[in-house]
Structure 1
Amino acid sequence: MIYCGIDWAERTHDVALVDDTGKLLAKRHITDDAVGYKMLLDLLAEYGETEETPIPVAIETSRGLLVAVLRTGKRQVFAINPLAAARYRDRHSVSRKKSDPGDALVLANILRTDMHAHRTLPQDTDLARAVAVLARAQQDTIWNRQQIANQLRSLLREYYPSALAAFEPWKNGLCRPEAHEVLELAPTPTRAARLTRAQLQAALKRAGRKRGIETEAERLRAVFRAEWAHQPPLVEDALGKQMLALLLQLVAASKAGDDLAEAVEEAFPQHPDAEIITSFPGLGIQLGARVLAEIGDDRSRFADARGLKAYAGSSPVTRASGKKSSITRRWVKNDRLNHAGYLWAFSAITASPGAKAHYRRRRDEHSDWHAAAQRNLFNRMIGQLYHCLQHRMLFEEDTAFSAQLAVAA
């Protein structure tokens, strides 16, 4: 048996091959391009790799073109956590020396000694991986948009509090197109106080508002013309230019988020698991796509529901030593899936009578805090999702929460 370890870098990669005894058979330094990839495949073929007997490969990343090339065929690819690889490195050297060829050798030896303790990359379908790309990108864009909106809000508090007061009644406030049009038209409070009804109405129409334009324009005009504190004129103009720069970023992030959301709505329903996932209360297309992106569609990825629950961070972890033991929440988990689970459980409480009864029981009988009760609900529902996906079944309220519904009745 031969094992391959690859120390990944941006421009070049180091490759090491070892046998069952740990003897170094070959090492190469390849470039991150088609020529380097061919050199790697030729090296594997030189040492006996065939289509039926591929050589397992360990690498410290799960993304990129190199990983895509390695995942062709039946080859097992192991994405080793860099922190775990560092711990293995300390087993072989007390001096804590480090080198790229040495790291490739460490990765190869990880497979030689502990391949059974590591998990291969899931064999998800191309459609599931495409949904994962779109869903994660849309989630990143939403987070980025909120971060920019928070920066813009903080800046407006310094010199333009009338804008915050004007946009406060609107849902999503600074992220709305109406707010963008008004701020672009009047980047400073002095200019906002001089806006006419016609200008405000035109801005609201450009933003796409159809109803209540005259009433809203009158309200904005009254807010902007009220008495507010002002920065010195030169400072106010400078802050207005800074605000416009942030506004451009916010508009771009908002458009990118909308475009990616449309792409998710187009791709996710095409997946065979979409109907099962969206049958659960609280899971729509966007949130369901995020769940699919993290769990994938490789049914052999998780041995049982407990593995999926631990991966999502919904199940507790027990630490015991001697007579002492403690049960706490998990800190090592898939953060994206855990975040999606928080939103899922929050929505399910109002969408499902059984979920609401389960949540109330955790709060009343077990004295859980809100977050703990919600995490427990997520833990139960993701176990149900695992069962439904394995058996190709849709969610049924009476079956999932029969006891809770009886108690609630």
Structure 2
Amino acid sequence: MKASPPSGLSPAPDSCLASPAADSCPPPPPVPAPVYEAFIGIDWGDQKQFYTRRDVAQPTRLHRGSFATAEVSAWLQQLRTHFGGHRIAVAVEQSRSVLIYALMEHTDFIDIYAIPTLASANYRKAFRSSGAKADNTDADAIEDMLYRHRDQLRLWQPDDEQTRLLDALCRNRRHAVDERTALTNQLTSQLKLCYPVALELCREMANPMLLELLQRWPTLQKLQAAKPHRLRSLFYKHHVRREAWVQQRLDLIAKATALVHDHAVLLPAELEVARLVRQLRTLLPAIEDYDKRIHELYEAHPDAFIFKSLPGAGAALEPRLLCAMGSQRERWADAQALQNFSGLSPVRKSSGKTSLILRRHACPKYLRQTFHEFAACSIKFCDWALQFYERQCAKGKNHHTAVRALAWRWLRILWRIWKDRKPYDQSIFTASQKRHQSDDTSQLAPT
């Protein structure tokens, strides 16, 4: 899919080993490389882990082995004893596996390098063109990548516990919301078949009133047989008391007619509606519980004031933006590094006379989604964001391309206020924008 870069943005090259910004950003100040006694690559599995270890004292000799997941702590203790507590480097593919969390408890002598799964797979294929694959050889490839290309790998630096907890809750809530959307879409499809009047009673399929109505009267025949005072009682229970609205719904129910009478069609649809209603009525309180816990954690977070100042973020996106930026201020050397890692910067693919600018696909999708959704919400609450979006659309960009360009622009602002620990101030941004426009005009003026 061809995409044009945001205004003023040049596509940055990718690297499967380093940060996507490694080739396009000025290198950070040199940091002394840690000295390790050993390098270990682990191929993670549910029940059993295979590892390859290379001791610095004997770099040509590889030690291979395996251990069960339940034996991780004992294996780590053996490493601590064997190397006398000296630092060792451990590389794993998964960044959210049980093994990572076990390794985190031993960071006093272990440095963790989380390698993207695709990167390790491509590294293995580069030397095994036959496509042969095994757990022990995967561990060899991971260890070899760590030993030979450590300077290109990112040292895994977890956020503080409060931020990680908030991030986990936000991700789980997002999964629950996606599940709610899938269930309501299925429910809409079934109601069109066997219970179309329900779609006219309430437009929102996840409405508690509609779900209770469908559970108490699962068919049109049972709904029309219900006494009016029982229906009124249901409406009043859910704070629907306007008489004109209530009477309109009662008349709608009385006049409704079934479109399908085939029992072979109606019975499966009715059972499916009952199943979907039960799932939704269980899921909605869970989402409310997530919202409550996220709000409590977010309000207590020391960085919350930064993201509360963002226009259009709201209760759902503010905590997600906080977790997306994290608590490690040294993680992103500059805004470009964050823009590349989140997938908002495009990439260029060139060969001979052909050159394409493409949307970046190798990125954390949840992270990109967070910034994309915030940019879309900011259009309604921020004047300059609306103007920027309209200029992009005027250039012929579609909605999502324009929003992605706006998100790229927002990330520069987010990185700065996050780095400085200051709330967003639109007057500062507007003044900076005018100053840059003035500088550009003076450079173009004749001498």
TM-score, normalised on structure 1?
0.90
Change over 3 Å in CA distance of 1:236–1:223 after alignment to 2: same
For residue 274 of structure 2, what is the aligned residue in structure 1? Answer: 244
Cα deviations across residues 313-332 of structure 1 (Å, max 9, x unaligned)?
22222222233322222222
Instruction: Decide whether the 8 Å contact of 1:3 with 1:108 is kept in 2.
Output: yes
TM-score, normalised on structure 2?
0.83
Cα deviations across residues 64-109 of structure 1 (Å, max 9, x unaligned)?
4321221232422112222221222223434432221222222111
Change over 3 Å in CA distance of 1:167–1:102 after alignment to 2: same
For residue 204 of structure 1, what is the aligned residue in structure 2? Answer: 235
SS in 1 for 2:403: helix
Q: Which of 390, 402, 405 lines up with 1:376 in the alignment?
A: 405
Instruction: Decide whether the 8 Å contact of 2:372 with 2:404 is kept in 1.
Output: yes
Distance between the aligned counterparts of 1:27 and 1:120, measured in 2?
Answer: 23
Q: Which moved more, 1:195-204 or 1:374-383?
A: 195-204
Q: How does 1:286-325 map to 2 (within 5 A)?
A: 286-325=316-355
For residue 26 of structure 1, what is the aligned residue in structure 2? Answer: 63
Kindly indicate whether residue 102 of structure 2 is the aligned counterpart of residue 69 of structure 1.
yes
Change over 3 Å in CA distance of 1:199–1:326 after alignment to 2: same
Distance between the aligned counterparts of 2:225 and 2:261, measured in 1?
Answer: 17
Kindly indicate whether residue 261 of structure 2 is the aligned counterpart of residue 224 of structure 1.
no
For residue 9 of structure 1, what is the aligned residue in structure 2? Answer: 45
Q: Which of 185, 210, 220 lines up with 1:150 in the alignment?
A: 185
Q: How does 1:179-190 map to 2 (within 5 A)?
A: 179-190=210-221
Instruction: Decide whether the 8 Å contact of 1:354 with 1:405 is kept in 2.
Output: no
RMSD over aligned CA atoms reads: 2.2
Change over 3 Å in CA distance of 1:95–1:237 after alignment to 2: closer
Cα shift at 1:266: 0.8
Cα shift at 1:284: 2.1
For residue 359 of structure 2, what is the aligned residue in structure 1? Answer: 329
Cα shift at 1:238: 4.3
Cα shift at 1:179: 0.7
SS in 1 for 2:205: helix
SS in 1 for 2:88: coil
For residue 54 of structure 1, what is the aligned residue in structure 2? Answer: 87
Cα shift at 1:391: 1.0
AA in 1 matched with 2:44: W
Instruction: Decide whether the 8 Å contact of 2:240 with 2:246 is kept in 1.
Output: no
For residue 194 of structure 1, what is the aligned residue in structure 2? Answer: 225
Cα shift at 1:46: 4.5
AA in 1 matched with 2:372: Y
Instruction: Decide whether the 8 Å contact of 2:311 with 2:378 is kept in 1.
Output: yes
Cα shift at 1:44: 2.0
Cα deviations across residues 52-74 of structure 1 (Å, max 9, x unaligned)?
x4211111111243212212324
Distance between the aligned counterparts of 1:90 and 1:371, measured in 2?
Answer: 35
Distance between the aligned counterparts of 2:112 and 2:287, measured in 1?
Answer: 33
Q: What percentage of residue pairs aligned between the two structures are identical?
A: 26
Instruction: Decide whether the 8 Å contact of 1:193 with 1:221 is kept in 2.
Output: no
For residue 114 of structure 2, what is the aligned residue in structure 1? Answer: 79
Q: Which moved more, 1:218-227 or 1:88-97?
A: 88-97
Kindly indicate whether residue 296 of structure 2 is the aligned counterpart of residue 266 of structure 1.
yes
Q: Which moved more, 1:232-241 or 1:269-278?
A: 232-241
- Return 5+ residue gaps in structure 1 as ranges: none
AA in 2 matched with 1:58: A
SS in 2 for 1:401: helix
Q: How does 1:323-362 map to 2 (within 5 A)?
A: 323-362=353-392
Instruction: Decide whether the 8 Å contact of 2:235 with 2:241 is kept in 1.
Output: no
Distance between the aligned counterparts of 2:415 and 2:188, measured in 1?
Answer: 41
Distance between the aligned counterparts of 1:198 and 1:64, measured in 2?
Answer: 55
Distance between the aligned counterparts of 2:347 and 2:124, measured in 1?
Answer: 27
Instruction: Decide whether the 8 Å contact of 2:92 with 2:115 is kept in 1.
Output: yes
Instruction: Decide whether the 8 Å contact of 1:30 with 1:39 is kept in 2.
Output: no
Q: How does 1:102-121 map to 2 (within 5 A)?
A: 102-121=137-156
AA in 2 matched with 1:299: R
Cα shift at 1:217: 2.9
AA in 1 matched with 2:191: L
SS in 2 for 1:91: helix
Instruction: Decide whether the 8 Å contact of 1:355 with 1:377 is kept in 2.
Output: yes
Distance between the aligned counterparts of 1:153 and 1:253, measured in 2?
Answer: 17
Q: How many residues align?
A: 396
Change over 3 Å in CA distance of 1:167–1:210 after alignment to 2: closer
- Return 5+ residue gaps in structure 2 as ranges: 1-36, 438-447
AA in 2 matched with 1:13: Q
